[in-house]
Amino acid sequence: MLACVRALVALALFALVCPALTIFSTDFETGIPDGLVASHGVYVEISGSGVLWDGTGAPVAANLGNWFLYNEGLGLSSSVLTLTDLPEHTSLTLSFVAVLIGSWDGYTFPTCCTPDLLGVKLDGVLTWSEAYRNYSTLAPDGWGTYLTGEDDWFFDPRYTESAWEVSFTRPHSGPTAVIEFYAFGAGYQGGLDEAFGIDMLRIDIDAVVPEPGTGAMLWAGALAFLAARARRGHR
């Protein structure tokens, strides 16, 4: 009998906790996705600043493929990913490869031109930002998993480029998510001096919440079973 109760409890918990869902991903190899329906009926739009850029000059370790989304970042211009008709969820995980192009100066070097920051807004609120450095005789510096750098891939041979795997999770609910990628900071110059790219973009959400009452019904069944067993035990 106890085994039956345990099974009912396990079913109730399963109804409340489901695996994460990948609702959208792109490597930009077939263009900039826009106006398409992705996994689980999610509608995807990419707008704002950003063009496809040839990534074949980068090392294989940068994991860029042939194309990535490139943004010169002038005037705090953002590359904007909008997801609508999201399934019910309570958190969102954003993963991407950040490509830092040109003379990114980080927080401290050189003091004349810092900081240079890459930021992400979620629904209009800054939710993540980090300083990155390419410009110096020191190794590139930043946040995430460092893939490769210390070489000129695209622009001025005086400066290196670097690539970083970035992933973070934030609380989120509701049917729409607006994600903005942009560069900023007192030292950020943009244009051919500093730019950024995004590749291997992926969005995951946590468990889809079950239909109202599913978990409650299973719990009610478990409690009813216990009550009936208790009555039989008193006879």
**Structural domains for the chain:** 20-211 (2.60.120.260)
Helix (H, G, I), strand (E, B) or coil at 104: coil
Lowest mean pLDDT among 97-101, 122-126, 136-140: 136-140
Contact criterion met (CB below 8 Å) for 196 and 100: yes
Q: What angle do CA 162, 168, 171 make, to 5 degrees?
A: 155
Q: Select from 152, 198, 137 the least CA-distant residue to 58.
A: 152
Question: Which residue has 């399934």 as its token pair?
Answer: 87
Residue 136 token pair: 């110096």
Give mean pLDDT, residues 86-101. 94
* 85 vs 231 pLDDT, higher one: 85
Query: What single DSSP character describes residue 109?
Result: S
Number of helical H runs and strand E runs in the chain: 2, 13
pLDDT at 207: 60
Top-ranked range on mean pLDDT: pick from 173-177, 205-209, 213-217: 173-177
Query: What value does the mean pLDDT of the chain take?
Result: 79
